[in-house]
Each structure stands twice: as structure tokens, then as C-alpha cells.
Amino acid sequence: MKTKLLFTLALLTCITTSIAQDNCSKFYPMNEGVSMEYTNYNKKGKVEGVSSYKVVEAINNGNVTNATMAIDLKDNKGKDAYSTTYNLTCTGNMVTLDYESLLPSEMMEQYGDMDIEISGNDIEIPNDLSVGQKLNDANVAMKISMSGINMNMTVDMTNRNVEKKESISTPAGTYDCYVLYSENRSKMMMANQVYPSRVWLAEGVGMVKQETYKKNGDLMSSTLLTAHSK
């Protein structure tokens, strides 16, 4: 369960920085059928899997856009490893993501007989990013009760800021990006770990690159945009 929720957190950053609407954000022109492909690498640069993202529905209602994205992950052998859908909301100058929609349906089915409580604060990506800008923290908390025993897990995304601008090249093209930094702290039972992260975000495209590090700054994993179709 911990592995699935942490994997969901990794997807979270990709999703939130990849979805927006023409009339509410400049970072991704959302239309049904738009798709992205991201290749995931380990710390040595070896391919660990490929994630496919596709906007399957976008509904406009006044100044609010509700979107659904389907995500499929294949492992390094091309076998299906994970699939889910996410619901997002774009309003005015902000894209937000509902944390409850991040929990994989198969996980909820597995623990369907248990009492589960979920709470949190959405990740926000504003329209007017600038170098040095501080962004709001985000978090999700999950409490599971089983046979009178409570198990708690929290994930906090803190110290979010726009670190710099940088041009980056990938197999999908060359992009001028904002670099967003954050520290992701996960706590489950007595385990408490911190994973700093950077996301390269391009206007009109979304996430181009992501790197996750150990607390000491050593690279743990990375994700790169390898295909993009409007």
C-alpha cells in the first residue's frame, strides 16, 4: 500500500504541472485527445518504465473547467504495471487537483472492508509564475482502521518555489522552462523520509522533466518527456 501511494505522489507532480486549460492557464492547451509520453529512469539512467498520459474528457462550465486524464504505466519490459484516471479543476488563474482522486481504484478495492479517512490540501499551479516566487504547500493524509488498529500515512509537499528558468532539450523537442523545487516528506508509522524534487515546466506543454533526490542531494530517479501530441 505504501508503495502505491508513493508512486501516486510521483505521478501527482507530473499530472498537476501537465494539465491546464487555454482559458485558465497558459501552461498546457488542454483538449480532449492530447497526449504525452514520459520515460522514467533510475539513478543510473536506466529505463524503468514509460508512462502514457491522455486527456479523455474536458468540460467547460463558465470559468471552470473539469478534466479527466487517463494514465497508463508500462514497466521496462513493456508490460502493463499501473493504470488510473484523475480528475482536475481549472478555475480562473489556477489549476488544482483533488487528492482523493489520486488513490488508485484497485487499492481502494483491496481495503474496501476497512474504514478509510482521507484529507488534504490541493496542489496549485498559478498562471503567473516568476523566478523566486513562493508557492503554497500541499499535503494528503490517509487513516486506515483495521481490527481496532489505526494506520496513518501523510505526504507533505513543502518549500515549493520557482527556482529559475532554464532551456532543456528532450526527444520531444527543446523548451524554455520554469524550474519548480519542492520537498516531499512522507511519514508512515515510524518511518519519516524527505525527497527533494525539481520539475521543469514549459508554457504550452506542461512538465518536460522531473528529478527526485535523496535528502543529501543524490539523484534517485528522473522522468523525461519523450513524446507530445496535440
H or E stretch at 8:
helix 2-16
| Alpha-carbon span 65 to 23, nearest angstrom | 9
Q: What is the pTM of this model?
A: 0.80
Report residue 208: phi and psi, to 5°: -110, -35
Give the pLDDT confidence score for residue 1 in this predicted structure. 47
Q: What is the CATH number of domain 2-229?
A: 2.40.360.20
Give the pLDDT confidence score for residue 5 in this predicted structure. 47
Give the pLDDT confidence score for residue 196 in this predicted structure. 94
Domains in the chain: boundaries: 2-229
Task: Give me the average pLDDT of each 10-residue run along the chain (230 residues).
Answer: 48 50 59 88 94 87 82 88 78 73 51 70 84 90 77 84 96 95 83 90 89 93 92
Give the pLDDT confidence score for residue 209 in this predicted structure. 96
Q: Amino acid identity, residue 196?
A: P
| Alpha-carbon span 141 to 13, nearest angstrom | 17
